[in-house]
Amino acid sequence: MNWLWIVCLLPLAVFAEERICGTRWLQEHRDEFPAPAAKRLDVLKEKGPIEVGTQLAFLVPTDPLLNLATCRFKGEHCYIFVQESQWDVIVAQPDVDQLGALFEEKTPADADRGVYDMAVEAFGEAADEDGDPRVFILLLDTPDERVVGYFDRSVYGHVQEELRRDTIYLDARRLVYEAYLGRGTLAHEFQHLIHWGHDPDEEAWIDEGLSGHAETLTGFPETDPSMVPSFLDDTSRNLTSWPFAAGPESYGKTYLFASFLAERYGSGLIRQIVAESRNGIFGVDEAFKSEGWVQDYAGAWALWIAANYAADDPAFGYGALNGRRAFAFSAPKVPFSPIDGAVANQWGTTNVILRSAGDIEVDFAGEADGRYAVWVYAMRDNRGEMVQMELGADNRGRVASVEVDSVAVIIGRASRVGESFTLAARRFIPTAVAVAGSLGGKVAEVDAFDPVYPNPFNSAVVLPFRLSRDSRVELAIYNALGQREALLVQRRLGAGEHRVRWEGASAATGNYLAVLNVDGKMRMRQLALIK
């Protein structure tokens, strides 16, 4: 059968209004616009401090003429200028004052901090190329109806020094009539300005992902509501690729990955990615090292692709998914002989669901030269268990799941080669293995991380697990920031049932993650400590 090979290559139609980041749009269309005139005007000269009412000329990349604008707001961290053609036609003083308060004082996410303080804390200090500590925000008529705002790095190369201002451009009409979108775009473009100051040649997928995260951070999640569904409908796209004329799915994938990194590894990692001079994957790897993580991009990506399917699993899911999960192709009823499938792109994913109940064994075989991350997500009574498949040198692996309602197989490709794979599934009778522990008479059929108890707990918690064979075991507790709180087990254990007790007396109230690693296969349980 080759149905899976075919269907995995079919694009899924997404009907959504297109909205694009003007910063990226300008980079892609730069050659189409004439250079602004280098004519010196008296109005360019800042005569003393800039105050409300000061009129200046601004570079607008798509306009060969300088654009006059008047300062309508001055705060601790910003000036807001309004293009003359937009004042009292589109923009009024209350619009400007509200935008100023958003940048300076409060956001939907934090009533005590504005966009400036929150973004600087998350990403680093803002660029200051013009010597003025304030950021210029210019409300104007943007050149393309899809462009809500942009940061233009090209202004720093202009022959006239007084025109080289740290400026964020926002479309006046969108700001007034689509306030949520316009205000979220302010946070988005401010991240671009910050990132440029630290790493001006960062790869687009990193820069855009962090700008999407900036929107959520300040209280404007998914200003384009189509971007996350567009990606989850087809996760085969290369995470690290930013195509020309990128659509909402590109913004969706990078936003989700950046949000996952922030939630799983903490704000320190995000700030380090911005500060790191190396770009893309190499920059993420260096940021992990700088923050002291025994992790790298490939490992984080492997956990992310699992999380995108296990949205309802507290051990894997993350907040930006908001309960959604990646689309999965349906496989035939179990049993079925090997069927062909494909992961179309490096750093892309294909998900296959087996809607069969019972004891299911899944076989995976990838191309010899490929490199894969394969997970099996077993559902039982509306509860999921995620297990990473251990692949041999021949890229073959097998996972058995007992008493399941359904099984999903998540297949990611980390290599440039290795597009094709085969899957097979069958029913099996679990093999009993005698217990070598104190619970003689019982048997352990398969490896399992049983429910912990009590949970929530206020002093100690018991973590039971079963081993089907003599195995190398590591059991550790991690806090909400992804830092290891305790290492409970790190040795070989015999087959059978085991119970480990964690005394949480010295730990703070909050959520924790118990991670059980059995011969390289990870299982997780969420814990809640309440004192």
Q: Do the domain assignments include residue 274?
A: no
DSSP-assigned letter for residue 446: S
What is the total count of domains within the chain?
3
Measured between alpha carbons, how far is 360 from 336 in angstroms, rounded to an integer? 11
Report if residue 254 sits inside a domain. Answer: no
Alpha helices in 8-92 (DSSP H): 22-29
Domain region containing 119:
19-198
In a shared domain, residues 176 and 38: yes
Which of 383, 401, 430 lies at the terminal end of a domain, its last residue?
430
In a domain, 51, yes or no: yes
**Residue 317 to residue 208: CA distance in whole angstroms:** 22
Instruction: Check whether residue 51 and residue 191 sit in a common domain.
Output: yes
The DSSP bridge partners found for residue 471 are 493
Same domain, yes or no: 452 and 420: no
Low-confidence spans in the chain with pLDDT less than 70: 1-47, 159, 314, 430-446
Q: Which of 253, 249, 269 is nearest to 261 (CA)?
A: 269
The reported pLDDT for the residue numbered 317 is: 81
Among 430, 446, 471, the domain-final residue is 430
Are 425 and 494 in the same domain? Answer: no
Which CATH number do you get for residue 386? 2.60.120.380
Residue 242 is assigned to a structural domain of this protein: no
Judge whether 245 and 96 are in contact, CB under 8 Å.
Answer: no
Q: d(Cα 347, Cα 301) in Å, to the nearest integer?
A: 8
> Domain check: are 475 and 396 in the same one?
no
Q: What CATH number is attached to the domain comprising 490?
A: 2.60.40.2550
Domain assignment present for 267: no
Residues 166 and 120 in one domain: yes
Could you tell me where the DSSP H helices lie in 51-141?
A: 93-104, 115-123
Q: Could you tell me if 401 and 364 lie in one domain?
A: yes
User: Could you tell me if 145 and 39 lie in one domain?
Assistant: yes
Please check whether residues 80 and 156 belong to one and the same domain: yes
- SS3 (DSSP) at 302: helix
Please count the other Cβ atoms lying within 10 Å of the Cβ belonging to residue 358: 13
Residue type at position 113: R
Residues 45 and 131 in one domain: yes
Check whether residue 391 and residue 446 sit in a common domain. no
Whether 449 maps to a domain, the answer reads yes
pLDDT in tens, 259-303: 999 998 999 999 999 999 999 999 999 999 999 888 899 999 999
**Rounded-to-integer distance, Cα 288 and Cα 297, Å:** 8
Q: Does 304 fall in a domain?
A: no
What local confidence, expressed as pLDDT, does residue 9 receive?
34
Three-class SS state of 52: coil
Residue 382 in tokens: 């509306």
Task: Kindly state whether residue 259 falls inside one of the protein's structural domains.
Answer: no
- 443 in Cβ contact with 393 (< 8 Å): no
**Apex CA 368: angle with CA 365 and CA 370, to 5°?**
90
Contact, 43 vs 162, CB < 8 A?
Answer: no
d(CA 58, CA 144): 18
Do 192 and 46 have their domain in common?
yes
- pLDDT at position 341: 95
Residues in the chain: 531
Q: Which of 151, 170, 198 corresponds to the end of one domain? A: 198
pTM, two decimals, is 0.77
pLDDT recorded at residue 198: 95
- Cα–Cα dist 73/79, whole Å: 6
